Structure 1
Amino acid sequence: MSQSARFLISAGIVLASVLPALAQPKAADPSPDHVKTLIAQAMQQTGQKPPTTGMIEPPAGPTVNLTEQEAVARAQQGNLTLISERITPQTWDYSMSATRAFYLPTLTSTVGSINQTDLNTSAFSGGVKTTSETQSWSGGITKQMWRGGGSYSAQWTNSRNETSSTFSTCNPCFSSGLQGLFTQPLLRNRKIDNTRATILTNEINQDIAELNLNAQEVSILAQVRNAYWELVYARQAVEAAQQSLELASKLVGDNRARVEIGTMAPIDIIQAQAEEANRRQQLVTAQATQRNNELGLKRLIVRGTDDELWRATIIPVDHPTVTAQAVDLEGAVRAALSRRTDLAVSRRNLDAVDITLQSLDNQTKPGLDLIGQLNLAGRAGVGVARLDPTTGLSVAPPAGGYFDTIGQLGSFEAPTWNVRLQFNYPLGTTSAKANVSRQRLLRRQQEATLKATELQIATEVTGAALAVRNSFEAMQAAQVSRELSEQRLNAAQAKFEQGMATNYEVVQAQRDLNDARNSELRQQLNYQRALVDFQRVQITR
């Protein structure tokens, strides 16, 4: 096969593979900012570098100097977890409003009209065929009482009736009525019932939600402080790595000068160059840690990737505390016992157990209700004279209009009083009594849990105070070690220049100084974290 034929066949294969792709609609390319945001989020979640051969560029935004208190303030306003958690207590407001609606007054009203025709077979029906038309209207109010568990209702009724019956004493007739009813429990449901128990429990749950929110806020702000000091440590670790690299590079340069003048063998440079490469690798690792720690702090204090601080470079301006901080252990324990959110939650849970116990004990009591009722009636209309069938005398028919019936209600012309006691008691109360006994055991268990929580709080606060002291002593020891390592390196460098020390001794002294610096920085960070934790454990676990 000729070279031209092979070329044409290859071109045909390439064209056949490209044409289907060109025929498909091209999807919109994601924006560079969106890609960078996704990469940054992925790096934050996995802690690994993206698969690219290019260097990771620093944020393109401005440089922001940030203090610890400013970081905390930003987290209080912009932390997405806190913004989400603050909604939870608000949901209980609606739950409680829905339950409390049971105790709101209920208004009722009815308006109606009835047109009725009757075919009668009785001589006392007022005719063989009678018609009547009745218009009625009424209104009322009912309300359940919170205190005492009673209820009352009032009903006002009105009607107008016009009929063709010859036996009616008025045509049309007006009537009005006023009925009042009051029910008051005397034993069961007087102090508490299921509805009131639910409302009281919801109030406790709302308090617990507020306490949990407070605990979440304190915990997140402690994370912000720790993340801030982690970033401070990372930046200082980068500076220490740079200083260590400079020392290693200087040693390489000095050794090259000695090789050039013939006072050192060329092979001795290799050890210094290997140490320089190792220090360069440590610098790269420290810079990567700094970037990750900065992302970790940003995640806690920004509202999202559209926040201006997300693209900025954060420069922490506060320095670690290197002086001893006074620790009042007894005062801290007292403060924790009065402020710890988990202890407050345990106490509120105990209150909820008491409410449930009262509600269950209420079910074992007999029902005894006092019921009072008052009915008032008024009647008027256009009278029709009738004879009394027994006496044969004319009976005065009712007279007047609708407002005359209202006047009769006000004058108590036809009252009806009704007062009674209503009693009921279930013969089998074994289940209710068993529930009460079980709830009392749960209360004893909750009391034991409360005491265990107090002991745990005292232990945690004491442990945090000891951690502050231990970390401070470790920081002091690390500081002394770093100072001695500096002196040792100076001595080794001076001996090396005089020919009294080997290249290995200088390299080893540099390594020891590098380790001592990193150890001092880590102990400073541990001391700052211990102080943050000591403040945190006084409020939440």
Structure 2
Amino acid sequence: MSGSRTARWLTGAAVVSFAAFFSAVASAETLTADQAVQRAAAQNPSLRAALLDVDAAALAVKAEENARVPTFIGGVSGEYNESIGSADRSDSEAIRGNAGVQFKTDIGTTIETGVQSDVVWRNLTGTVPSPSTNPTYSTSAYVKARQPLLRGGGSDVVLAPLAQAESSKTQTEKQQELEASQTALDVLNAYWELWYADRAIDVQERSLGVAKKQVSDAKLKMDELGTGSKVDVLQFSSSLASIQDSLAQAKTTRSTRAIALGRLLGMSPDDSLDLETTEELPALGAAPSSKELRKTLTARSQELASLRAQLDSADTRVLIADDANQARIDLYGSASVGAVWASGDSYSGFDMPGGRPAFAVMAGLEFEVPLGESSATSEAARARTQRDATKARYQARVEAIEAEVASLEVELDAAQSQVDLASTTTDIAGELAEAERARLALGTTTSLAVVQAEQSLREAELRRLRALASQVITQFEIEHSAGALLDRYGSAFAKKRSS
């Protein structure tokens, strides 16, 4: 009966264990590094905001392009008017209408052209009543123009807002590319940190299995065979406890790394814990030489391109401020041709008085000069100071990025050396641990020597894995700083527009 219950208990435990294992496998989600970057590109809210900023900047450019679109103006009105004289009273009714077009050229000339027309009826009453007069018609065509000679004149000033909008658009686009590159770097860093955390757990679990067997063997030798000592049991038990503690810490680290990656992928913390990494390390190829990186750094860096666009915008602001600091001298003029005619006894049909239309021409010069130093003078000085500050910041970032890339190159070389050394150390430590275990079986060494050899093997393997992860991460950091990371992952971020 007891054997039957034990069998049923073991069967149930096996079923539960299998179900738990199957559930864990089914819920785990394995991603490659490329898949992680693609998911971040599709779901990262910061990238979505950056793309919306690009759209807004493009609309600002379009608004400036349409700033000088011709404008149609028109109107119609009716009027009734009375006036009283010493012996009479008069009144009039009129209907007036006008239509025209206004526009501004790229050099600042404001032009308006159009037509005006009206019809007027006049009535006169007094001591001797007079009948209403026949309507009088008038019409005219006109053109007006104003050209700034100093302030507000010239294509460079008139088109300055458009140039500023285009610089802002370029800056926003480069900022979006920089955000995409930074997101890719953050995802790759988080991914390979999770990869290392997973491998570290594997190392600790393998060491835990070895330590458990060593404790079991030591107890067997002491209790049953009489060839072991309590010191060996305690030594191996202490090592087992230390490994269990390290494993617990490794699992905690693994959870935090998974949550960090999941956050970048737009996942909840609970779902992030199920993320798994692949076994394969990326084939990065040979790193570009220092000379190649520095040669293309200024041209390819998204951050420097954004700062150059900001500098262009600062130059445009100086141009606008200097223009506003000038005196205003405008040349203006107008010309018109008009006709007035009436129907009545004095005219046959609609003949114009004098038989021709009336002409008018007017020209003038208008100027405006501040009496003393105006606020525009201070604004111009402020704009130049801000431009100089932008230039200084740009140069500072060039030097900082060059130094950063140079430092990362040193770190990459060191990481490659560490990988080679750690691999060699791991091989030697593995052979030493195996030799110490064999000597312990022969009774020619101590349990302490075995524990130390096992610990050296474990530490060497962790250093090798850490060096591999650091090598990959450093390579990506160099490419990001040099503006080359999007060469690998640019397609994942292309046109990820919000729906």
Does the alignment reach a TM-score above 0.5? yes
What is the match of residue 276 of structure 1? 240
The change in CA–CA distance for 1:75 and 1:492 in structure 2 (over 3 A counts) is same
Partners of 2:148 and 2:328 within 8 A in 1: yes
What is the match of residue 467 of structure 2? 523
Q: For residue 229 of structure 1, report the CA deviation from its aligned partner.
A: 0.7
| Equivalent residue in structure 1 for 2:362, among 418, 431, 441 | 418
Question: In 2, distance between residues paired with 1:380 and 1:433?
Answer: 55
What is the match of residue 3 of structure 2? none
What is the match of residue 92 of structure 2? 132
The change in CA–CA distance for 1:466 and 1:177 in structure 2 (over 3 A counts) is same
Partners of 2:415 and 2:470 within 8 A in 1: yes
Question: In 1, distance between residues paired with 2:49 and 2:69?
Answer: 32
Letter in 2 for 1:163: R
What is the match of residue 167 of structure 2? 204
Deviations 1:167-196 (A, max 9, x none): 999611221122210112233321268775
Question: In 1, distance between residues paired with 2:264 and 2:389?
Answer: 38
Partner SS state of residue 397, structure 1: coil
Partner SS state of residue 375, structure 1: strand
Letter in 2 for 1:327: P
What is the match of residue 378 of structure 1? 339
Partner SS state of residue 222, structure 1: helix
Q: For residue 254 of structure 1, report the CA deviation from its aligned partner.
A: 1.5
What is the match of residue 35 of structure 2? 70
What is the match of residue 277 of structure 2? 316
What is the match of residue 474 of structure 1? 418
Deviations 1:79-138 (A, max 9, x none): 12211232223233444555666423333222221223333325xxxxx23332211222
Specify every segment of 5 or more residues in structure 2 that has no aligned partner in the other structure, as ranges.
1-19, 486-499
Q: For residue 153 of structure 1, report the CA deviation from its aligned partner.
A: 1.0
The change in CA–CA distance for 1:192 and 1:178 in structure 2 (over 3 A counts) is same
Q: For residue 345 of structure 1, report the CA deviation from its aligned partner.
A: 2.8
Letter in 2 for 1:141: V
Letter in 1 for 2:226: G
Partners of 1:178 and 1:376 within 8 A in 2: yes
Question: In 1, distance between residues paired with 2:214 and 2:273?
Answer: 37
* 1:148 pairs with 2:107: yes
* 1:487 pairs with 2:431: yes
What is the match of residue 117 of structure 2? 158
Partners of 1:108 and 1:140 within 8 A in 2: yes
What is the match of residue 107 of structure 1? 72
Deviations 1:34-92 (A, max 9, x none): xxxxxxxxxxxxxxxxxxxxx9x997964333211111111111112211232223233
The 5 Å alignment of 1:150-229 reads 150-165=109-124, 171-191=134-154, 196-229=159-192
| Equivalent residue in structure 2 for 1:351, among 306, 312, 315 | 312
Partners of 2:122 and 2:132 within 8 A in 1: no
Letter in 1 for 2:257: N
Question: In 2, distance between residues paired with 1:60 and 1:258?
Answer: 39
Letter in 2 for 1:361: D
Letter in 1 for 2:104: Q
Letter in 1 for 2:259: L
Partner SS state of residue 379, structure 1: strand
TM-score (norm. length: structure 2): 0.82
| Equivalent residue in structure 2 for 1:248, among 207, 211, 216 | 211
Deviations 1:429-487 (A, max 9, x none): 58656655565455445444433332222212111111110111112111111111111
The 5 Å alignment of 1:227-266 reads 227-259=190-222, 260-266=224-230
The change in CA–CA distance for 1:61 and 1:184 in structure 2 (over 3 A counts) is farther
Partner SS state of residue 443, structure 2: coil
Letter in 1 for 2:210: L
Partners of 1:373 and 1:418 within 8 A in 2: yes
TM-score (norm. length: structure 1): 0.76
Q: For residue 377 of structure 1, report the CA deviation from its aligned partner.
A: 0.9
The change in CA–CA distance for 1:154 and 1:277 in structure 2 (over 3 A counts) is same
Question: In 1, distance between residues paired with 2:285 and 2:338?
Answer: 88
Question: In 1, distance between residues paired with 2:262 and 2:136?
Answer: 82
The 5 Å alignment of 1:358-397 reads 358-383=319-344, 385=345, 396-397=346-347
* 1:298 pairs with 2:262: yes
Letter in 2 for 1:501: T
Question: In 2, distance between residues paired with 1:231 and 1:443?
Answer: 44
Question: In 2, distance between residues paired with 1:379 and 1:99?
Answer: 43
Q: For residue 218 of structure 1, report the CA deviation from its aligned partner.
A: 0.6
Q: For residue 515 of structure 1, report the CA deviation from its aligned partner.
A: 1.3
Q: How many equivalent pairs are there?
A: 459
The change in CA–CA distance for 1:358 and 1:212 in structure 2 (over 3 A counts) is same
Partner SS state of residue 361, structure 1: helix
Letter in 1 for 2:334: Q
The change in CA–CA distance for 1:425 and 1:323 in structure 2 (over 3 A counts) is closer
| Equivalent residue in structure 2 for 1:456, among 386, 400, 407 | 400
Question: In 1, distance between residues paired with 2:377 and 2:356?
Answer: 48
| Equivalent residue in structure 1 for 2:288, among 327, 349, 355 | 327
Deviations 1:483-503 (A, max 9, x none): 111111111111101100111
| Equivalent residue in structure 2 for 1:504, among 448, 460, 465 | 448
Partner SS state of residue 86, structure 1: helix
Query: Which stretch of the first structure deviates more once superposed, 513-522 or 436-445?
Result: 436-445
Q: For residue 412 of structure 1, report the CA deviation from its aligned partner.
A: 7.7
Partner SS state of residue 103, structure 1: coil
Question: In 1, distance between residues paired with 2:29 and 2:238?
Answer: 37
Question: In 2, distance between residues paired with 1:258 and 1:108?
Answer: 107
Partner SS state of residue 90, structure 1: helix
The change in CA–CA distance for 1:496 and 1:218 in structure 2 (over 3 A counts) is same
Partners of 1:380 and 1:398 within 8 A in 2: no
Letter in 1 for 2:82: T
Question: In 1, distance between residues paired with 2:450 and 2:97?
Answer: 108
Deviations 1:361-404 (A, max 9, x none): 32454433332311121223322x4xxxxxxxxxx33742xxx8
Q: For residue 538 of structure 1, report the CA deviation from its aligned partner.
A: 0.4
